Amino acid sequence: MLKILGIDENKCIKCEKCIPSCSVKLFNVIRETNMEKRIEFNDPLRFCFRCGHCIAVCPTEAILYEGADLPYNFKEAKKPSEIISYENLMKLMRSRRSIRIYKEESLSEDLIDQILESMRYSLSASNRQNRRYLVITNRNDIRYLSDQVSKLMVKAKRLLVFKYLAVPFTSGLVRRRLLNPKTKISINRFLEARKRGEDRIFFNAPCVIILHAPPYSKMTASDSAIAISHGMLAAQSLGLGTCWIGFAQEYLWRSKKTRKELGIPKKNNVYGVFIIGHPDIEYLRAPPRREAKVEWKK
Ligand SMILES: Cc1cc2nc3c(=O)[nH]c(=O)nc-3n(C[C@H](O)[C@H](O)[C@H](O)COP(=O)(O)O)c2cc1C
């Protein structure tokens, strides 16, 4: 884990840029007796949350640290707006679709690594970066997990008939819609498709990624969602498709047994599941979206 150790006096040019960059104010100007100034890093109460902003802002790489990789240097870091235009970024975001049709082709580890790398750079509450990723590419394991999730559906179908048993899981409206074969969330339709051999959980994707983390606060779910968003956009830039699989997430959240089988530590729970693969569908335009409901207070 990143630990700031101090400042390399030989490199520091005393520009003071580290001072405002630190949100917990751990850098200070010290006046020596000869009135020479020195910048000091002082963290007796361990407030540093390892955001690395001091490392990113220092023009002479004078921040001393341990427990982390080298900073990533690239010339556009200074002006992120020059990396990608708003128009191009919007095109990327607008054309991201949940892909449910995949080619047979498997996914190279290199591509998966590139996606994981994008997720590593996502923001997290208090910079916890506490997520762990379980990458499943073995077809039998994916099938097994899909079967387990489907069994939950069978169980749900049985339980939902009894109104009082279903109460902790769903509202009355959702319960009725799940049981009604004419709705899009009908369990019956899902189970019939399953009988025909269709995988309506993972859509035969060659890779499933499960995000798990200790449930440290309400922010855990937010952190994971953001990481998945990063991964999805990165996947798209690599010509890959993705889809968030809430059904599997819900199942894994509840099933201690399967979490254990998958080697997910006892103290962790599952905050997101998504699939990746080579899409076998091409979209020609972005679908319409609801108007943003915005209130301004000016
Ligand atoms: C939290 C979450 C859970 C989702 N769960 C599923 C799922 O279990 N199965 C599925 O096919 N799609 C799932 N989706 C995908 C949504 O249906 C999809 O994002 C939405 O219909 C909009 O389509 P788009 O992603 O192509 O823009 C999920 C999306 C989110 C954000």
Q: Name the residue with the closest Cα to ligand 1, atom 10.
A: 245
pLDDT digits (tens, 9 = 90+) for 9-52: 999 999 999 999 999 999 999 998 888 899 999 999 999 999 99
Ligand 1 centre distance from Cα of residue 174 (Å): 17
Nearest CA to ligand 1 atom 17: 98
| pLDDT one-digit tens code per residue, 76-98 | 999 999 999 999 999 999 999 99
Secondary structure class of 291 (helix, strand, coil): coil
Give the pLDDT of residue 180. 75
pLDDT at 167: 56
**Tokens, residue 9:** 């006096």
Helix ranges restricted to H, the chain: 18-21, 53-57, 86-94, 109-120, 139-160, 163-166, 172-179, 187-195, 219-237, 246-254, 256-261
What is the assigned CATH class of domain 96-139+202-277?
alpha beta
Q: In a mutational test of the pocket of ligand 1, which residue from 99, 222, 243 has the highest number of ligand atoms less than 8 Å from its CB? A: 243
CB 205 within 8 A of CB 102: yes
Residues with CB under 6 A from ligand 1: 97-98, 100, 243-247
Expressed in angstroms and rounded, the spacing between residue 250 Cα and the centre of ligand 1 is 13
Strands 207-213 and 241-244 come out as unpaired
Q: 243: which strand partners? A: 275
> pLDDT tens across 103-159, in order?
999 999 999 999 999 999 999 999 999 999 999 999 999 999 999 998 887 777 776
- In the chain, where the domains are located: 3-72, 96-139+202-277, 140-195
For the domain covering 3-72, report its CATH number.
3.30.70.20
Q: Give Rg (Cα) of the chain.
A: 24
26, 51 in Cβ contact below 8 A?
Answer: no
Question: Of all atoms in ligand 1, which is nearest to the CA of residue 287?
Answer: 27
Of the pLDDT bands very low, low, confident and very high (cuts 50, 70, 90), residue 189 is confident
Please name the residue whose Cα sits nearest to atom 4 of ligand 1. 246
Q: Supply the residue whose CA is at minimum distance from atom 20 of ligand 1.
A: 98
Residue nearest atom 21 in ligand 1 by C-alpha distance:
98
Determine which residue's CA is closest to atom 26 belonging to ligand 1.
Answer: 97
Q: How far is the CA of 244 from the centre of ligand 1 (A)?
A: 5
What is the per-residue pLDDT across 253-295, written as a single tens digit (0 to 9) for each? 999 999 999 999 999 999 999 999 999 999 999 999 999 999 9
- Residue 170 pLDDT level (bands cut at 50, 70, 90): low
CA of 98 to the centre of ligand 1 (A): 6
User: What is the distance in A from the centroid of ligand 1 to the CA of 99?
Assistant: 9
